[in-house]
Structure 1
Amino acid sequence: MSKTPPKASAILPIIVLAQFACTSLWFAGNAVSRDLVVLYQLGDGTPGHLTSAVQFGFISGTLVFALLGVSDRFPPSRVFMVCALLGATANLLVLLPDQGLTSLLVIRFATGFFLAGIYPVGMKIASDYHEKGLGKALGFLVGALVLGTAFPHLIKSIGQGLSWQIVFICTSTISALGGIFLFLTVPDGPFRKPSVKIDLLVSLEVFKKKDFRRAAFGYFGHMWELYAFWAFVPIVFSLYQDSHPLTTLNVSFLSFIVIGAGAFSCIAGGYISAARGSKFVAQMALTISGLCCLLSPFGYQLPFALFIVFLLIWGASVVADSPQFSTLVAQSAPKENTGTALTIVNCLGFSITIFSIEVVQWLMHYGSPTLALLALAPGPVLGVLATVRKNK
């Protein structure tokens, strides 16, 4: 006799906790990039390149996972745990001595590759437990991703007297524990419809649906902005400090606060979506963050208190649309291919982030640093247009 599956309300906190723990791997390198630059005498462009390496690894992983239909063919909790353990191991390889830029990029690439079995698979597990109210559930889930992304900055800020290695040890430890915990406590959801074969055309077939294309293209516009903004938050604070020499900032802690603000907006957006719909929340968040992009050059001239408020608004709005786009993607895809649909959209979306990160990195070094974030504005603009246009 089969077991009655646990209630979604009991499962969601476990997925959220595991997602937070495992996605802390994402920005571990970014949080200590300055230490790595000094220790190994690397170039000034290293922070952006390290972030791009993780993104490229994630893209490669999601492409492999999507083409093979991994999260639809195998128990997603098992996939999540295996990738959490492998990602934690890859993350720790940074601690090996005598690193160079090439070895660091390879290690961060490997970490990103295994994150492909964590973030989209976590959303897949949530969709297997929520036939209704998925927008609210994913609001909590992406909120956990946001806090996980910001967490290395917090570790760095409270461990000022400790070595940078602590960031990698802490994130790898909690990632491994999070993956094991989820595997032991979360069985297959009641709405899971496993796929029994590899179908390499599924990733293309889902784009034939108008609603799916609309949600996916809106998500792509959102992704042009999101990770580039997160990657350069510490540099934005450094630029502000340079233009206000009498201001002393704890850059790591402030970066945690600004990025972490998105966790609360994701959760709030989830509740609003229950009343107004996921599309409404996504459009409003994209509009606000797009305005922040356009106003970014003026932010450096603001008094510190207003500067923080401005960045908090940006940090909250830049990611609040993410769970709602994922909801729209999941709801518009065939149930037996939900995992593959989420994974391929993640793959394409994260591919876009590499270009935006490198564009901003180039503008920071060869253009005017205070104008660099203007390059992110086309993403929200095109994302909003994608969600409002009528597909033929």
Structure 2
Amino acid sequence: MALTGWRLVALLCLTQVLGMLGNATFPALIPVFQPLWALSNTEAGWVSGVYYAGYTAAVPVLVTLTDRQDARGIYLLSCLLGGLAALGFALLASGFWTAMVFRFLGGIGLAGTYMVGLKLLSDRLPEQGRARSVAIYTAHFGIGASLSVFAAGEVTALAGWSWAFVVGALGSFVSLLLVVVFVRPLAPRPRRAAPTAVFDFRPVLRNRPALAYTLGYAAHIWELFGFRAWLVAFLVFVFAQQPALAAGGWSPTQVATLLLLLGLPASILGNEIATAFGRRRIVSLFMIGSGGIALVLGFIAGAPLWLLVAVLLVYGCLIMADSGALTAGAVIAAAPERRGATMALHALLGFGAGFLSPLAFGVVLDLGGGVDQGLAWGFAFALLGLGVFTGPLILALLARRGNA
């Protein structure tokens, strides 16, 4: 039984969340792996970031090919690869280099499911309502990352870290089966225009509104993925400064899950606000707000608990409020025959920043004296804030067409 309309949107949101159960397993368990494998902060940053290096290497090829063939086949193969990569980590990873290999392969699997899944969805939806569907779908990336953090913490506490990766593998395999059963292949259809080379991004680069949202997305991902990669480790440091948190029975992974789950309503609501009041203006305000908090967040781990919690909650909302609006802006601004190439460049630049920011964060931590030093956390978070501040500048220069 093939699903259509909002049922299809719901299905692909579900498969995205299931397929991402292994997404944040390593970052959530950095406090476990650092003593276990004697990893420095820089090495932990490499393993966290190399996942998105795999994504960045594969996404231009996989997503651009969806302009020429149905995205469904690529999606299914990528679910399989993602599951095998997580299973390989569970069974064979024993240190820095083996972890790098399996996380790189996992990132390739994500490249063929997240943005390819968005193309699979947009190809099967009418133009009306597409922006809202895109925002809902992209918001579920945050849900997937959140539940991955939660599963990693809970499963590791019950059965050990390897079983946390097994759970991630099972999620990918279930996603594969759901798409096989419920998503019908598209019938071949003639192209609207004879394309030049398959990977010719020059027409995409000439589309200034789409390029503005793509570069803005890279600034957003720089901040977001650095935050996600090091959030649990930061909360371990916060717990040491705030005994009341530990006394309340919370674990760092549970608090991180709560903060990340705020991304779903924030991203959907952010897109609605941007659609109503001007996408460029609203996205810029969200970026300025989240970047301003990042400049101070690392320095206030020992602040009064009520203040710290309030800042974290607001940051958890603001850091995701522009995500759906940026991706929807790029999809809407893209030429229909170049939508796959536009999304490929969008993902390439965005997740390229997502590869670099966890690594840069780890380097700053090492230079600042390590995870036990408040100044090190302060400077590392400030680096994320400075990066996201480039987003409003880019949007001001390139996106000047009405609500674009």
Q: Do the aligned partners of 1:73 and 1:197 also contact (CA within 8 Å) in 2?
A: no
Gaps of 5+ in 1: none
Aligned pair in 2 of structure 1 residues 241, 89: CA closer, same or farther (>3 Å)?
same
| Structure 1 SS opposite 2:112 | coil
1:110 corresponds to: 105
Aligned match of 1:209: 207
Structure 2 residue 25 is matched with structure 1 residue 17: no
1:381 aligns with 2:389: yes
Deviation of 1:347 after TM superposition, in Å, equals 0.9
Matched, 1:300 2:308: no
Structure 1, 55-64 or 195-204: larger mean CA deviation: 195-204
In the alignment, what sits opposite 1:149? 145
What's the CA shift for 1:52? Answer: 0.9
- The equivalent of 1:230 in structure 2 is 228
Specify the alignment match of 2:131 in structure 1.
135
- Are 2:71 and 1:73 equivalent residues in the alignment? no
Work out the CA distance in 2 between the residues paired with 1:302 and 1:193: 61
Aligned partner of 1:270: which letter?
N
Aligned to 2:376: 369
User: Contact 1:83/1:114 (CA < 8 Å) preserved in 2?
Assistant: yes
Matched, 1:349 2:350: yes
In the TM superposition, residue 296 of structure 1 has moved relative to its aligned partner by 1.4
What's the CA shift for 1:262? 0.8
Name the amino acid aligned to 2:74: V
Structure 1 distance, partners of 2:40, 2:218, is 30
Counting aligned pairs with the same residue, the percent is 20
Q: Following the alignment from structure 1 to structure 2, what is the Cα–Cα distance between the partners of residues 88 and 201?
A: 28
1:29-48 alignment runs, 5 A limit: 29-48=26-45
TM-score by length of 2: 0.87
Greater shift, 91-100 or 7-16, is seen at: 91-100
Asked if structure 2 preserves the Cα contact closer than 8 Å seen for 1:56 and 1:354, the reply is yes
Deviation at 1:37, TM superposition (A): 3.2
Residues 20 and 171, structure 2, Cα contact 8 Å, conserved in 1: no
User: Equivalents in 1 of 2:191, 2:98: separation in Å?
Assistant: 38
Closer/same/farther in 2, CA of residues 178 and 346 from structure 1, 3 Å limit = same
Deviation at 1:56, TM superposition (A): 0.7
Which sections of structure 2, spanning at least 5 residues, go unmatched? 369-374
Partner Cα separation in structure 2 for residue 377 and residue 23 of structure 1: 26
State the distance in 2 between where 1:164 and 1:112 align.
19
**Matches of 2:36 and 2:213, distance apart in 1:** 44
Contact 2:20 2:148 in 1 (8 A): no
CA shift digits 1:138-158 (9 cap, x unpaired): 221122111111212211333
Q: Which amino acid aligns with 1:147?
A: I
Which of 90, 93, 98 matches 1:95? Answer: 90
How big is the alpha-carbon RMSD for the aligned residues of Structure 1 and Structure 2?
A: 2.6
Which residues of 2 match residues 157-172 of structure 1 at below 5 A? Answer: 157-159=153-155, 160-172=157-169
SS of match in other structure, 2:216: helix
Distance of 1:35 and 1:114 partners within structure 2? 25
Q: In structure 2, what is the equivalent of residue 262 of structure 1?
A: 263
Deviations 1:346-372 (A, max 9, x none): 111211223322221111111232322
| Alignment partners' CA distance in 2, 1:11 and 1:280 | 31
- Secondary structure of residue in 2 paired with 1:315: helix
Give yes or no for contact 1:139–1:267 (8 Å, CA) kept in 2: yes
Matched residue SS, 1:96: helix
The residue type equivalent to 1:181 in the other structure is L
Give the number of equivalent residue pairs.
387
1:310–1:253 Cα change, 3 Å? same
Instruction: Report the Cα distance in structure 2 between the residues aligned to 1:147 and 1:52, rounded to whole angstroms.
Output: 19
Between the aligned partners of 1:7 and 1:239, the Cα distance in structure 2 is 46
CA contact (8 A) 1:19 1:145 kept: yes
Amino acid at match of 2:174: L
Match of 1:312 in 2: 313
